[in-house]
Amino acid sequence: MASPAPPLKDAVGVLDRDPFVALLSKLIGESQRLQNDPPALVPQEDLVAQHVVDALRPVSTDTGGGPLVVRKVSYTDGRSNVIVEYPGTVPDRVVSFVGMHMDVVPANPSEWDFDPFSLTFEGDDKEKLRGRGTTDCLGHVALVTQLMRRLGEVKPPLKHSVIAVFIANEENSSVTGIGVDGLVKDGLLDKLKTGPLFWIDTADKQPCIGTGGMIPWHLKATGKLFHSGLAHKAINSMELNMDALKEIQTRFYNDFPAHEKEKLYKFATPSTMKPTKWSYPGGGLNQIPGECTISGDIRLTPFYSTSFVVQKLKEYVDDINAGLETKLPTRGPVSKYVLPDENLRGRLEISFDGDVMNGVACNLESRGFQALWKATEEIVGYVEPYSITGSLPLIRELQMKDLMFKLLDMAY
């Protein structure tokens, strides 16, 4: 009778530090050309993709000596994605790691105490690594690459296929269709739908289990421009906008209060509506402006629908416009939002940018999450999942394209 197979963690063993650091050093050495802020900075993710492919080549099917199936996918020159598969023995059983992105946010070397574009160490023990992309996300790229290489070397008999997807273009949404969104559109990730999907892109050693939706909004107020010495003849668009925004925020917080599930998911904040920008056409200090716009965003926990919130905001504005005389306070004895003698009324308009997105709440009952909990507890010693109302649009892309994606957002 054959002996039982050893546990997977014993079979795979501990990942070696030296190959990880060596690979990460190569990746961060490319980071100056990985900065993503077009049109000035267009990343060349193919530089990282090639390092990943080179690291896996000895255990890939390309050489005939290993089990890993490695595929580069590019939708534009110099910007590759990489899909790596360690085949399992049972069809349609999959565990996947997705989201390790090969671009980075820009770094200004003059603002750093060390060279951001090379890997350095802090302290004599060299335990702390420094450089652009160490935690977001080149460190993740190097780690998962080493994991896949180790699987290729040890060749453990797994029922589940293990698939890693290294992606381009995570740090900027002005260009689309060349990263995970392109892979989803072309059906290249369909195989992942049958098993848990871990999104690897959070610089923490605890699981991130929820993210927020985001609604960018613009509230424009139109009044009547006039000299400030004759304020009774003006409709002050700034005052109108400030008072209207306060009323809209009050209604928003009444209609979308803290949700009972936010405590379970440990969201740092409930849903919020905050102004972040103010603009107006300009003018002298003695001119009461005739129009102005306040812009901002709503951060929405995933237990509310963004489309319903947008509908409610439009209703708020329509209601205020219909009742300017009674719905809003005024400021001082001659502040007015309606001038009956001139048949003039102030007016509010609200608009929304096209990139409205819902939030994500991971399935806390899934086998994948339970395994993640157990592993975190074993390695870190405790488990404290958390959620934030920051948004990860690419994760939502996976969920919205096909609800069969069993998504987990993983941090480490």
Task: Give the model's pLDDT for residue 409.
Answer: 44
Q: What is the pLDDT of residues 282-309, one digit of tens each?
A: 888 999 999 999 999 999 999 999 999 9
Q: What is the pLDDT of residues 165-177, one digit of tens each?
A: 999 998 887 788 8
Residue 393 pLDDT class (50, 70, 90 cuts):
low
Whether residue 72 is predicted with pLDDT greater than 60 in this model: the reply is yes
pTM of the model: 0.80
Residue 396 pLDDT class (50, 70, 90 cuts):
low
Whether residue 379 is predicted with pLDDT greater than 90 in this model: the reply is no
Say whether 213-352 and 8-210+359-410 share the same fold: no
Task: Give the model's pLDDT for residue 3.
Answer: 52
CATH of 213-352, one of 3.30.70.360, 3.30.450.20, 1.10.287.70, 3.30.110.60: 3.30.70.360
Segment 154-181 mean pLDDT: 91
Domain boundaries, the chain: 8-210+359-410, 213-352
The CATH architecture to which 8-210+359-410 belongs is 3-Layer(aba) Sandwich (3.40)
Whether residue 371 is predicted with pLDDT greater than 90 in this model: the reply is no
Task: Give the model's pLDDT for residue 311.
Answer: 98
Supply the residues annotated as catalytic: 103, 170
Task: Give the model's pLDDT for residue 362.
Answer: 85
Residue 405 pLDDT class (50, 70, 90 cuts):
very low
Residue 365 pLDDT class (50, 70, 90 cuts):
confident
Mean pLDDT of the chain: 89
Cα gap 159→94, rounded to integer Å: 8
